[in-house]
Amino acid sequence: MKKISVLLLVVAAVTVFTYCSSSKKAVKVIPKTTYEANVAPIIAATCAPCHFPDKGGRKKPLDSYKSVTAQLDEVLRRIQLNPTDRGFMPDRKPNRMADSNIAVIKKWQADGLLER
Ligand code: HEC
């Protein structure tokens, strides 16, 4: 179900983007990756409830720009481990988060950790 809604969202985004870029603008704007638009939804989908105090999580919070940027190196390290490695996150899940999502978090870092 989740995959389908993500897919629909992507289709909608592509449609909107296609329409927008068919205007006479000469310069294509490549949007930067931001915490609010790109990173927060991924973390919320993969790292809840354990790291979300308002969802009953008791681990270190990853529910805000501040908390995620403060632990970013450790977040990136852990999500790229093999699921059988000690310290792998998301804990207790059989698979890594999608490579495309890991790439989003890396790009966010490369783009300068924009909040919004
Ligand atoms: C099922 C619950 C669960 C989920 C889901 C989960 N974690 Fe954790 N996380 C833990 C536990 C338990 C620890 C403490 C044990 C350890 O350090 O390995 C922890 C520790 C961490 C730490 C070290 C800091 C700390 O809290 O002590 C980081 C960073 C972390 N997790 C990142 C993530 C990220 C990023 C995700 C999502 C991709 C995620 N976790 C998903 C349970 C979870």
Q: Looking at residue 110, what is its pLDDT? A: 96
Residue with the two structure tokens 């000469």: 26
Two structure tokens written together for 67: 């908390």
Ligand 1 in reach of 32 Cβ (< 6 A): no
Take atom 18 of ligand 1 and give the residue whose Cα is closest.
87
Nearest Cα to Cα of residue 53 among 63, 66, 64, 42: 63
pLDDT tens, residue by residue, 53-86: 999 999 999 999 999 999 999 999 999 999 999 9
pLDDT tens, residue by residue, 13-53: 666 566 655 556 678 888 899 999 999 999 999 999 999 99
- The region, left, alpha or beta by phi > 0 then psi within -120 to 50, assigned to residue 56 is left
